[in-house]
Each structure stands twice: as C-alpha cells, then as structure tokens.
Structure 1
Amino acid sequence: MRTESKGDRHVFAQATPELPVRDVIAAQIHYRDRLGFTIAWHNEDGRIGAVAHGACAIFLRGVDGPIAPVTLWIFAADVDAACRDLTALGADIVDPLADKPWGLRQFTVRDGDGHLIHIHHDL
C-alpha cells in the first residue's frame, strides 16, 4: 500500500476494518447476497477473508465464542440509490433513510452477525 507524507506529518490512505464473525464463508455470502459486496478472498481453512464494494473492503475473521457487534460508517456517493439497491436485496434495514440533524443523509443495516453499518452521504 502506498503512503504519502505531508511535510513532517504522515498521511494514511484508507482503513480496512476487520469484523469478528461466526462463519467467514456464511458472512461473505450474506455480504454478497444482501449487501451487494463481492467476495474478494478467503484462506484455505475459511478463518479469514474479505469482501469488497467499490473502494470499500472489509476483512472478516472467524471467532469462537460470543461476538460483540461493532459499528461501521460507509460513505456512499449516492445514498438514495444505495438504499434502494440494498432494500431490493433484502438487507436488514434497522434505521430507514433520513436526513439526520448531524448533517448526514443515512440509513443503517445490520449484518448477519449483528454488526451495524451506517451508510451515509453529507447533506
């Protein structure tokens, strides 16, 4: 991955979150079928893998035991179209598309492991 520096400050390019999941392959299928991602890869034993959608990538790691859900924020160039597409795919939309008082137009989906994903665009 290429990094840049600005003067004496280091500048990061992007972040890739890693989510704990009960079953990597099942999670990848859920992200593909319900959230419109593509399955990028998984290792031979299926304990880690990734999904991607445009410039967004998410690593998925299989864990034993309980999962503490996390929250992700994903920027969408056209949040209205994203909401229409995910609704058509049967995504679990837990907070409908709306303009929020904090200056975002957003909606929220829950994945198969309980993680919340806020999909948003600036107002």
Structure 2
Amino acid sequence: MNNPIKTKLGQPVPELPVADVEKAQIHYRDVLGFDIAWTYPDKTIGAVARGDIAIFLSTRNNVSPHTHWIFAFDVDATFEEMKARGAQITESIEDKPWNMRQFTIEDLDGNRFIFHHDI
C-alpha cells in the first residue's frame, strides 16, 4: 500500500441532541457565551459558535446526551467565566491524577463538557 497524501482537516463539529433548538441556542448564548450561528426554518437543527468551536443542536435524533472534552488555554479563567455565567457545574475544578486540571458542566439536555488543561 502506498502512502496517500493526508489532506488538512478542520475540527469536528458535534451534533448534540436537544429537546428544543431555539431554547438550547439561547442557553448556549446566555450561559455559555456562544453566538447563535443559524437555525433551520423548521427549527429541527441549528448551530452555535464561539471562536473556532461550532456545535450543531438538533431535535432530529433521539439519542443519549454526549460528553465532549474542550481544551481551555486558561482553565481557571474559563471555570470562573462559566461560574459567573451561571453554568450548571457538575464537577468543580480540580487537579486530576492523570495530570489534567479540569471541570465539567452540563447543558439543559444533559450534554456534558469537560474543560481541561494539562498540569
């Protein structure tokens, strides 16, 4: 097998299950600091964005909530921001034995985000 050229890829964009796209977008905007990017006319799917991160929110799939790891350049400042915004913090910030400092938040539909930084 010869070695094909690897093309450059962008970051994956998760599609998270939500009960109500517009309500979820408002939560991501007001509580998590995202911008509302777009909403499909039938309101079954929409997107939010923050910097280089984009997330699709969808009522089209009846699946379990997801967990996503997000690297935070200053995890302590990110923790303070999310706390000040009123995010539902399910695990407070702490140093873990696997050499990461991290904390976890949960959105309205049970999707979890673990913000982390190497120690």
Q: Normalization by structure 2: what TM-score?
A: 0.89
Show the counterpart of 1:99: 95
5 Å-filtered alignment, 1:9-28, equals 9-28=6-25
Higher strand fraction: Structure 1 or Structure 2?
1
Show the counterpart of 2:32: 35
Distance 1:77 1:13 in 2: 19
Preserved CA contact (<8 Å) 1:17 1:58: yes
Preserved CA contact (<8 Å) 2:104 2:114: yes
- Unaligned residue ranges in structure 1 (runs of 5+): 1-5
- Unaligned residue ranges in structure 2 (runs of 5+): none
Task: Give structure 1 regions of 4+ aligned residues with deviation exceeding 6 angstroms.
Answer: none
Preserved CA contact (<8 Å) 1:22 1:63: no
1:78 equivalenced with 2:74 (yes/no): yes
Show the counterpart of 1:53: 50
Give the secondary structure class of the aligned counterpart of 1:9: coil
Once the two structures are TM-superposed, the CA of residue 11 in structure 1 deviates from its matched residue by 4.2
Q: Percent identity?
A: 51
CA shift digits 1:40-68 (9 cap, x unpaired) = 1111111111111111111111147x541
Distance 2:82 2:63 in 1: 24
Once the two structures are TM-superposed, the CA of residue 84 in structure 1 deviates from its matched residue by 0.5
When the two structures are aligned, how many residues end up with a matched partner? 117
Once the two structures are TM-superposed, the CA of residue 7 in structure 1 deviates from its matched residue by 6.2
CA shift digits 1:74-112 (9 cap, x unpaired) = 111111111101101110000001111112111000000
Distance 2:111 2:82 in 1: 16
CA RMSD of superposed structures (Å): 1.8
What is the letter of the counterpart of residue 96 of structure 1?
S
Distance 1:102 1:109 in 2: 19
Once the two structures are TM-superposed, the CA of residue 36 in structure 1 deviates from its matched residue by 1.1
Give the secondary structure class of the aligned counterpart of 2:31: helix
